[in-house]
Amino acid sequence: MKILMVHPHEVYSSSEPWTTRIVNLAKALIKKSHEVRIVFFPLRWQGEEECFQKEGICFYPFCRRAGVLNIARNTKKMSGLADWADIVHFQKCFHYGSLPSIISAFLKNKPLHYDWDDWEEMIYYESADPPIKAIGMFLKTLETYIPQIADTVSVSSRRLHNLARSFGIGNDRIFHVPVGADLDKFNPGISGERVRRAYGINSPLILYLGQLHGGQYVRLFIDAAKIILDRGIMVNFMIVGDGSRAQELKQYAKGRNLDEKIIFTGAVDSGEVPEYIAACDVAVACFEDNSATCCKSPLKIAEYLASGKPMVASKVGEVESMVGEAGIL
């Protein structure tokens, strides 16, 4: 089968590491003798870019700028790729990727599959400061009607499955596809000594891995670090990742006299992430309990588990079923 996959973000980027889901899905499909092409949307558009091949996948860069003209250009380009494909598979509801996917599949009479891995409307309200109601309503509209338009839908959580069912979608059209870790990259055999030496760490290390954007709840980790250190427990804390709120979080840590107690690594290449996890003694996945997190199937949980690390996590969404008896919630 020839599969055209559409992902609304960058690929192979430390700034948008969640692309690992679609890339690993593509690699798994290739192992089953399918052909895969991926359309992606670079963070910075430098004009028309050539397609490239990596890990047996052809990647096609598209512009993610807003506007009707750009949507039309992307639809025209995507229709050409849809001609080649037997099925169009797109991830997330964002209009600059979803609308060309839907229109191209319709024009070329190709089956359409929607990979729904997050409740984007709720994530927007959690992360925007302040949120704009019109944008929230637009996301709500997309996430209400796209699952109904698609021939099949994959969901990463039970909550998203229930949402899809509430829109009248039959169970036979919904497939549960949770996140997973690449066991070749994340396993207990990986050494973290290089990372520990690089940061001069000689005592136990507690680590948080994630993007430092809104809706990531890193302040909970910083607050917990304050409680532990105030009790005189000698441990190191590390926050691995970067994002739009990195400076704000550093200032928050400084205001709690933790600026010399918490290591902020900044963006880390995806190939180095297993070493950082391997370097820690305890891994943390902290979340608030809200509508956005109830739909999450957090990638960090899968990677912590695969690395064989003791874990402390918040009991929300899919976390409980993912962790089972392997962590403290």
How many Å apart are CA 139 and CA 127, to the nearest integer?
Answer: 14
b/e per residue, 256-266, with b = 16+ CB within 10 A?
bebeebbbbbe
How many Å apart are CA 98 and CA 91, to the nearest integer?
Answer: 8
Residue 211 pLDDT: 87
Residue 47 pLDDT: 77
Residue 310 pLDDT: 92
Q: What is the pLDDT of residues 58-77, one digit of tens each?
A: 999 999 988 899 999 999 99
How many Å apart are CA 290 and CA 288, to the nearest integer?
Answer: 6
Residue 34 pLDDT: 96
Q: How far is CA 8 from CA 34, 52, 140, 261, in A?
A: 22, 17, 17, 37
> Distance from CA of residue 207 to its chain's centroid?
18
Stretch 189-211: mean pLDDT: 96
Q: pLDDT exceeding 90 applies to what percent of the chain?
A: 76
Residue 220 pLDDT: 95
Report the candidate in 115, 167, 176, 172 with the shortest Cα–Cα distance to residue 141. Answer: 167
- Written as six digits, the tokens of 50 are 């050539």
Stretch 187-213: mean pLDDT: 95
Q: What is the pLDDT of residues 224-259, one digit of tens each?
A: 999 999 999 999 999 999 988 899 999 999 999 998
Pairing of β 52-54 and β 57-61? antiparallel
- Written as six digits, the tokens of 173 are 């059209």
Residue 326 pLDDT: 72
β partners of residue 312: 284, 328
Residue 323 pLDDT: 84
Going from the N-terminus, what domains does the chain have, and what CATH number goes with each? 2-176 (3.40.50.2000), 193-323 (3.40.50.2000)
Residue 225 pLDDT: 97
Question: Phi and psi (nearest 5°) for 70?
Answer: -70, -40
Better pLDDT: 325 or 309: 309
Better pLDDT: 306 or 44: 306
How many Å apart are CA 54 and CA 24, to the nearest integer?
Answer: 12
Q: pLDDT exceeding 70 applies to what percent of the chain?
A: 98
Cα end-to-end span (Å), the chain? 42
Residue 133 pLDDT: 95
Report the candidate in 106, 124, 113 with the shortest Cα–Cα distance to residue 164. Answer: 113
Identify the residue whose tokens are 């008896």. Answer: 325
Residue 324 pLDDT: 80
Report the candidate in 177, 179, 136, 187 with the shortest Cα–Cα distance to residue 18. Answer: 179
Q: How confident is the model at residue 49 (pLDDT cuts 50, 70, 90)?
A: confident
| pLDDT averaged over every residue in the chain | 93
Q: What is the pLDDT of residues 111-145, one digit of tens each?
A: 999 999 999 999 999 888 899 999 999 999 999 99
Pairing of β 87-91 and β 2-6? parallel
Whether residue 46 has pLDDT greater than 90 = no
Amino acid at 167: F
Whether residue 329 has pLDDT greater than 90 = no
Residue 17 pLDDT: 63
How many Å apart are CA 171 and CA 161, to the nearest integer?
Answer: 9
How many Å apart are CA 20 and CA 177, to the nearest integer?
Answer: 14
Q: What is the pLDDT of residues 136-177, one digit of tens each?
A: 999 999 999 999 999 999 999 999 999 999 999 999 999 999
Whether residue 286 has pLDDT greater than 90 = yes
Whether residue 57 has pLDDT greater than 90 = yes
Residue 208 pLDDT: 97
324 class by beta-carbon count within 10 Å (0-12 exposed, 13-18 middle, 19+ buried)? exposed
DSSP H or E run through 236: strand 236-240
